[in-house]
Amino acid sequence: MKCFVITTGNEERMDYVSKNLDERGVNFEFFYSKTLEELDEYMKENKVEEKSFRFRIKAIMTGEVGCFDSHFRLWKKCLELGEPILVIEDNIEFVKGVDFKAVTFSQDAKNAGIVSFAENSLVYDYQSYYKTHKLKERALFPTICYVISPRVAKMLVRMVNKFDYVVPVDKFLAIPGLSRCYSYISPVGVARRRDVSSIANKKRGKKSNNPIHLIYRLINIIKYR
């Protein structure tokens, strides 16, 4: 299975990932995010902020679009390859004591389509996957380390082409009505996020109390929940 590591080019993170994946015998490629200038241009041309107000009260931020765009381009890469891939973000921290090679990434991708292997604080029945949107805690799909199959990638690409980047990618993957697929979290956690500072967290999106946006949000909450 091919492994891709999403990075903004942060050398410290890249060195950490390289060292740890090399130690685990994992072949991988770095996959670079677009620049802020490229993302700002895309957002203006495609009126992404305006689209996002139809789904959330705060506009989606440039960093969130950048994160989503990197995952989206890897879903298209999965389609091109015609096989499951492993996606990792560069602010990953590997859980000690877990045999990376013993994790059945390929089989899990075939069985469930898209499965996160992020460490989770919930108490699990260690025999089954968990649907992200069924979790009692705030339902977000952990994108730090996951596998995806071409079958699911095809549907996700289709839905992003339909809606654009209207919510952050972790939220998009946790809403079956929006993504048209179920995402899962494995009871086997191999990684966690190293820190919360990222390109997606540098500023806050502006709010919209426009009545038209409010009506759209209410409709979309019901339609795509």
172-188 tens-digit pLDDT: 999 999 999 999 988 88
The answer to whether the CB of 75 falls within 8 A of the CB of 156 is: yes
Mean pLDDT of the chain: 87
Domain 2-224: assigned CATH number: 3.90.550
Give dist(CA 7, CA 67) in Å, integer. 9
Q: What is the pLDDT of residue 210?
A: 81
The predicted model scores a pTM of: 0.89
Q: What is the 3-state secondary structure (H, E, C) of the chain?
A: CEEEEEECCCHHHHHHHHHHHHHCCCCCEEEECCCHHHHHHHHHHHCHHHHHCCCCCECCCHHHHHHHHHHHHHHHHHHHHCCCEEEEECCEEECCCCCHHHCCHHHHHHHHCEEECECCCCCCCCCCCEEHHHCCCCCCCCCCEEEECHHHHHHHHHHHHHHCCCCCHHHHCCCHHHHCCCCEECCCCCEEECCCCCHHHCCCCCECCCHHHHHHHHHHHHHHC
State the angle between helix axes of 150-163 and 62-81 in degrees (0 to 180), rounded to the nearest 10.
140
Q: What is the pLDDT of residue 114?
A: 95
Domain ranges of the chain: 2-224
Amino acid occupying residue 90: D
The answer to whether the CB of 24 falls within 8 A of the CB of 145 is: no
Looking at residues 202-212, what average pLDDT do you find?
71
4-59 tens-digit pLDDT: 999 999 999 999 999 999 999 999 999 999 999 999 999 999 999 999 999 988 89
58-116 tens-digit pLDDT: 899 999 999 999 999 999 999 999 999 999 999 999 998 888 888 889 999 999 999 99
